[in-house]
């Protein structure tokens, strides 16, 4: 690799487009570092910040529209599939659905700043049958704010970023190895979080037939239905004796229980 900066400048816009698209479609490839570097280079006049923002917004809109269309066509089934493949399942549908219910399409303005929200919000909007035109407007503004803030950060700290780029450039081909290792470590860390989350979930999970057996034996566990309002509307069925509890009031409900009281929660 003769000159790292040269390749970044020549292939920068296509790279940014691909990086943003992959991240928004769900791949564990963070795009913010790329946008920050592009911002630093634009401050030096080596890239066009306008072209960077246009590429980032278009790539984001395409990826988000794909998820929006899948959500509109397949409904909440696509959300279950997305959470199975997500590297952040602990911040997947339930938390995102609560935010979306609270703010509606306006949540798309800040979705990309919230881990676990960015990829899930578009199919959730589609499943909720929101207007395509309104979705594109809010999602486009949100993408512009997200990409613009990263580019602005790069322009603000361009001197420090220039030194990092120069150091990588001096490493020659080893720079690509270091960057590849950094991405691999990020993916491994996210995968470890996923495995740990599912391990804790399996330890704390009770199956339906086990709960029924407890009720048949005369045991009286406290069963809390913590699904969102829209979740209960989609599926009005609920476990007998279950109490509908708002997520923000669970702590108050639990404080009134005996220390030995068995508690069972179920959600979306």
Q: Read off the pLDDT of residues 128-156 as tens digits, 9 standing for 90 and up.
A: 888 999 999 999 999 999 999 999 998 98
Percent of the chain with pLDDT over 90: 20
Which stretch of DSSP H or E encloses residue 216? Answer: helix 208-216
- Considering the domain architecture, whether residues 188 and 118 belong to the same structural domain is answered as yes
Based on the fold, state whether residues 187 and 230 are members of the same structural domain.
Answer: no
Give the pLDDT mean for 241-256: 66
| Amino acid 51: pLDDT | 93
* Same domain, yes or no: 125 and 249: no
Q: Of 149, 180, 202, at which residue does a domain stop?
A: 202
For residue range 160-189, what is the model confidence (pLDDT) as tens digits? 777 766 666 665 556 566 667 776 776 677
Residues 63 and 165 in one domain: yes
Contact 196, 235 (CB under 8 A): no
Same domain for 111 and 225, yes or no, is no
Highest mean pLDDT among 88-92, 103-107, 139-143: 139-143
The token pair that represents 172 in the structure block: 């020659």
- Do 143 and 69 fall into the same domain? yes
The domain spanning residue 223 has which CATH number? 3.40.250.10
Residues 40 and 100 in one domain: yes
State which residues form the domain around 239. 208-266
Q: Are residues 151 and 221 in the same domain?
A: no
Give 164 or 120, the one with higher predicted confidence: 120
pTM over 0.75: no
Name the E strands within 132-247: 222-225, 243-244
pLDDT (0 to 100) of residue 210: 78
Number of domains composing the chain = 2
């Amino acid at each position: 690799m003769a000159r790292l900066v040269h390749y970044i400048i020549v292939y920068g816009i296509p790279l940014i487009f691909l990086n943003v698209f992959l991240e928004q479609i769900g791949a564990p490839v963070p795009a913010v570092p790329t946008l920050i570097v592009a911002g630093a280079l634009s401050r030096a006049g080596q890239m066009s910040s306008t072209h960077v923002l246009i590429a980032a917004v278009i790539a984001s809109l395409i990826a988000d529209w794909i998820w929006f269309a899948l959500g509109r066509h397949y409904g909440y089934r696509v959300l279950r599939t997305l959470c199975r493949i997500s590297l952040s399942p602990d911040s997947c549908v339930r938390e995102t659905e609560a935010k979306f219910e609270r703010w509606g399409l306006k949540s798309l303005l800040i979705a990309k700043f919230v881990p676990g929200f960015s990829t899930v919000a578009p199919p959730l909007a589609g499943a909720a049958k929101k207007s395509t035109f309104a979705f594109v407007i809010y999602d486009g503004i949100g993408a512009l704010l997200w990409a613009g803030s990263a580019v602005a950060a790069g322009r603000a700290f361009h001197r420090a970023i220039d030194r990092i780029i120069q150091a990588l450039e001096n490493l020659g081909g080893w720079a690509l190895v270091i960057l590849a290792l950094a991405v691999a470590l990020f993916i491994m860390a996210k995968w470890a979080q996923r495995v740990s989350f599912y391990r804790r979930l399996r330890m704390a999970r009770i199956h339906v037939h086990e709960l029924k057996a407890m009720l048949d034996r005369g045991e009286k566990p406290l069963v809390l239905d913590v699904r969102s309002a829209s979740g209960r509307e989609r599926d009005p069925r609920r476990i007998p004796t279950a109490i509908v509890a708002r997520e923000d009031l669970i702590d108050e409900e639990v404080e009134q229980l005996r220390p030995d009281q068995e508690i069972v929660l179920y959600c979306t």
